[in-house]
């Protein structure tokens, strides 16, 4: 008999069926944790990466730059007001270039107690394009900038463009990060192995319930996206009776901060807020801290 072909593996985690894991609950005996990630980003003008909605345009791509900048100038402030109206905590995923460009915007979220999550220096670069030392510098500079402005180092990370190298997880852990959201592999947090017998937690961050893939890539409209949020919430609330789950929603202010989409997002948030007594409405960092406090072996 021929030997079974072995595929390359990352060796970061082992397979685990969600139906075969240990049971646990979130604070207060809640079974569904819901978190909203607001991605605030900044780009170099006339160079670097962007996210255009049509055929790639030559630099300077003012159309793409200005569309993104709408999120910082207008959309983020509307989403801040929305969070205040619904008493909604954010995980604010920050490009640290924003501390130089519009520090008052980041400060407005920080002041209300939203979690500041590392999201690289700028979305004009990707870790996959970096050398080992360049990536180490990117991660270290991001952590240092957040510590300088917020008074403490960030607990969590999401890479710009969710782009990693083979060394990213080891570099993140060495820089003091305790969780990341770059691997959308599960509806529960999962421990990943790192170099030197260390580990880092993967907190669920959605690629489906994310306005860029849904609206920019799949061309869904604001009503469709709001329906997705409502349907996800209702179904996961039922599923969580059997096991604890995490529902994440990823938002970008230049997309859902547009008035015609904001109106539909309000509808979805109102639906979730109406059921808030039965869920843990929280931040990704609080989810990570809770998991770290559970008995060893509880989390996959």
Determine which helix (DSSP H) or strand (DSSP E) holds 250, and give its type and residue range: strand 245-251
Instruction: Specify whether the backbone of 297 is left (phi greater than 0), alpha (psi in -120 to 50) or beta.
Output: left
Minimum mean pLDDT among 33-37, 55-59, 129-133, 202-206: which range? 55-59
Tell me how far CA of residue 3 lies from CA of 6, 10, 11, 15, 248, in angstroms: 9, 21, 21, 21, 41
- The rounded distance, in Å, linking the Cα atoms of 59 and 64 is 10
Q: Answer with the residue of higher pLDDT: 55 or 171.
A: 171
- The rounded distance, in Å, linking the Cα atoms of 177 and 157 is 7
Written as six digits, the tokens of 185 are 């592999």
pLDDT of residue 1: 54
Tell me how far CA of residue 82 lies from CA of 37, 71, 241, in angstroms: 14, 14, 29
- The rounded distance, in Å, linking the Cα atoms of 204 and 284 is 8
pLDDT tens digits for range 138-192: 999 999 999 999 999 999 999 999 999 999 999 999 999 999 999 999 999 999 9
pLDDT tens digits for range 281-294: 999 999 999 999 99
Domain ranges of the chain: 23-43+64-292
Alpha helices for 30-125 (secondary structure H):
62-70, 76-85, 98-101, 103-111
pLDDT tens digits for range 6-53: 899 999 999 999 999 999 999 999 999 999 999 999 999 987 676 666
CATH topology of domain 23-43+64-292: TIM Barrel (3.20.20)
HSE on the CB side for 254, CA within 13 Å? 21
What pTM does this model have? Answer: 0.96
Taking CA 203 as the corner, what is the angle to CA 165 and CA 120, rounded to the nearest 5 degrees? 45
pLDDT tens digits for range 207-225: 999 999 999 999 999 999 9
Strand-pair partners of 33 = 246, 280
- The rounded distance, in Å, linking the Cα atoms of 35 and 181 is 12
The pLDDT of 89-116, averaged and rounded, is 98
Determine which helix (DSSP H) or strand (DSSP E) holds 233, and give its type and residue range: helix 222-239
pLDDT tens digits for range 223-272: 999 999 999 999 999 999 999 999 999 999 999 999 999 999 999 999 99
């Amino acid at each position: 008999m021929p030997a079974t072909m072995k595929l390359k593996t990352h060796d970061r985690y082992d397979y685990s069926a969600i139906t075969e894991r240990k049971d646990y609950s979130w604070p207060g005996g809640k079974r569904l944790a819901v978190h909203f990630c607001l991605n605030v980003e900044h780009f170099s003008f006339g160079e670097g990466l962007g996210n255009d909605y049509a055929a790639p345009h030559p630099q300077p791509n003012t159309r793409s730059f200005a569309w993104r900048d709408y999120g910082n100038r207008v959309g983020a402030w509307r989403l801040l007001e929305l969070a205040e109206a619904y008493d909604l905590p954010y995980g604010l995923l920050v490009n640290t270039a924003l501390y130089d460009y519009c520090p008052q915007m980041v400060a407005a979220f920080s002041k209300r107690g939203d979690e500041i999550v590392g999201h690289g220096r700028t979305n004009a670069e990707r870790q996959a394009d970096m050398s080992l030392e360049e990536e180490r510098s990117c991660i270290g500079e991001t952590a240092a900038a957040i510590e300088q402005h917020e008074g403490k180092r960030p607990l969590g990370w999401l890479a710009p463009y969710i782009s990693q190298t083979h060394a990213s997880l080891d570099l993140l852990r060495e820089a003091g990060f305790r969780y990341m959201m770059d691997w959308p592999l599960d509806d529960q947090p999962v421990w990943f192995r790192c170099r030197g017998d260390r580990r880092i937690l993967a907190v669920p961050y959605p690629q489906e319930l994310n306005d860029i893939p849904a609206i920019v890539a799949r061309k869904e409209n604001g009503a469709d996206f709001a329906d997705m949020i409502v349907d996800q919430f209702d179904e996961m609330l039922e599923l969580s009776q059997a096991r604890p789950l995490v529902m994440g929603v990823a938002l970008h202010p230049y997309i859902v901060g547009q008035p015609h989409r904001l109106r539909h997002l309000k509808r979805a948030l109102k639906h979730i807020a109406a059921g808030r007594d039965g869920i843990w409405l929280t931040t990704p960092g609080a989810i990570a801290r809770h998991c770290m406090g559970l008995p060893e072996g509880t989390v996959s």
